[in-house]
């Protein structure tokens, strides 16, 4: 800024609640089908945006991504300076914490992944798109912005994957035994979709189809919920839904669909 002034971080302080392993489901997806982004990046920089009152999720992300690429760098970005100060003792080579918001204070570097979990759901429905666009414009080539939400201990999670051109997919990941119907995850949809789960919207139709296929697969429940989930996912493919993953992901209680199938109408 002119005169040496520091730009004000873009965003608002979140409630900041977090728990160890809360984001393990999304991390598992990132080091699985998305690992190619980390491995091929010229600058393997990853941002945990809005990590909350405790930096545990950023530390866990760093540990998990190191198994994919040893020179990965993770930067935890928080708008609350007190949270940044509290996290600093956990810094180590290639893991650091800085104050900032959606502007991403990275000295001009472009991250290959930006993860914002349980952040945008605390904003208004009229605000998320501007933040999506701001982060998208700062991504590296083949970079990904992940906007997600989960419950307090990570049993139910959803996330939207967004690249420089726009949203790509919606993932749902559920712990077996932690739901009656797949649509129980509706309260954890990303801000872009949570208010769209009403008749006439695509995401409503998608969740209803998941429920029908889950109920139809009830006979497979005698072999366990995993087999029932696999049957549900296969039925979704047969019904014509553009499911982007396969049985290796379904077995984890996960299913990903192309964004146009659920995009707001």
What pLDDT sits at residue 260? 98
Asked if the model's pLDDT at residue 5 lies above 50, the reply is no
- Judge whether 190 lies within some domain: no
Provide the domain count of the chain.
Answer: 2
The 10 Å CB-count burial string (b at 16+, else e) for 62-81 is: bebbeebbeebbbbbbbbbe
pLDDT tens across 124-169, in order? 888 999 999 999 999 999 999 999 999 999 999 999 999 999 999 9
Q: Same domain for 147 and 52? A: yes
Q: Which of 11, 32, 12 is nearest to 161 (CA)?
A: 32
Same domain? For 98 and 225 the reply is: no
pLDDT tops 90 at residue 9: no
How does residue 227 score in pLDDT terms, banded at 50, 70 and 90?
Answer: very high
Torsion of CA 198, 202, 207, 211, to 10 degrees: 100
Judge if 147 and 233 occupy the same domain.
no
Confidence of residue 2 (pLDDT cuts 50, 70, 90): very low
Task: Quickly tell me which residue has 């502007």 as its tokens.
Answer: 103
User: How many whole angstroms separate alpha carbon 32 and alpha carbon 145?
Assistant: 16
pLDDT of amino acid 1: 39
Is 19 domain-assigned? Answer: yes
Any domain includes 180: no
Domain that holds residue 225: 196-257
Cβ-proximal residues to 52 (8 Å cutoff; 6+ apart), any chain: 14, 15, 16, 17, 18, 78, 83, 118
pLDDT at 13 (0 to 100): 77
Per-residue pLDDT, 16? 64
Calculate the average pLDDT of the chain. 94
Backbone angles phi, psi at 166, to 5 degrees: 135, -175
Are the C-beta atoms of 10 and 80 separated by less than 8 Å?
Answer: no
The yes-or-no verdict on residue 122 having pLDDT over 90 is: no
Query: pLDDT tens digits, residue range 47-100?
Result: 999 999 899 999 999 999 999 999 999 999 999 999 999 999 999 999 999 999
Q: Where would I find the beta strands (DSSP E) of 164-235?
A: 166-174
Domain with residue 142: its CATH number is: 3.40.50.150
Domain ends where: 115, 141, 175? 175
Binned at pLDDT 50, 70 and 90, residue 3 comes out as very low
Among residues 86, 88, 82, 122, the alpha carbon closest in space to that of 102 is found at 122
Report the percentage of the chain scoring pLDDT > 90. 89
Same domain, 138 and 205: no
């Amino acid at each position: 800024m002119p005169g040496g002034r520091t730009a004000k971080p873009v965003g608002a302080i979140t409630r900041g609640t977090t728990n160890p392993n809360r984001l393990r489901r999304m991390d598992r997806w990132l080091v699985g089908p998305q690992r190619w982004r980390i491995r091929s990046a010229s600058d393997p920089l990853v941002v945990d945006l809005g990590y909350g009152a405790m930096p545990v999720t950023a530390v866990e992300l760093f540990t998990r991504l190191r198994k994919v690429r040893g020179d990965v760098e993770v930067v935890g970005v928080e708008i609350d300076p007190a949270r940044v100060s509290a996290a600093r003792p956990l810094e180590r080579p290639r893991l650091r914490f800085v104050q900032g918001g959606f502007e991403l204070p990275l000295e001009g570097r472009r991250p290959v992944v930006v993860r914002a979990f349980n952040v945008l759901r605390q904003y208004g429905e009229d605000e998320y798109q501007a933040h999506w666009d701001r982060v998208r414009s700062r991504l590296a080539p083949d970079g990904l912005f992940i906007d997600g939400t989960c419950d307090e201990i990570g049993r139910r999670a959803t996330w939207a994957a967004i690249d420089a051109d726009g949203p790509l997919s919606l993932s749902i990941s559920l712990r077996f035994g932690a739901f009656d119907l797949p649509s129980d995850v509706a309260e954890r949809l990303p801000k872009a979709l949570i208010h769209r789960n009403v008749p006439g919207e695509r995401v409503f139709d998608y969740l209803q189809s998941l429920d029908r296929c889950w109920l139809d697969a009830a006979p497979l429940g005698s072999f366990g919920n995993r087999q029932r989930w696999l049957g549900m996912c296969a039925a979704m493919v047969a019904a014509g839904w553009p499911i982007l993953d396969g049985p290796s992901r379904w077995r984890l209680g996960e299913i990903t669909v192309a964004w146009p199938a659920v995009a707001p109408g």
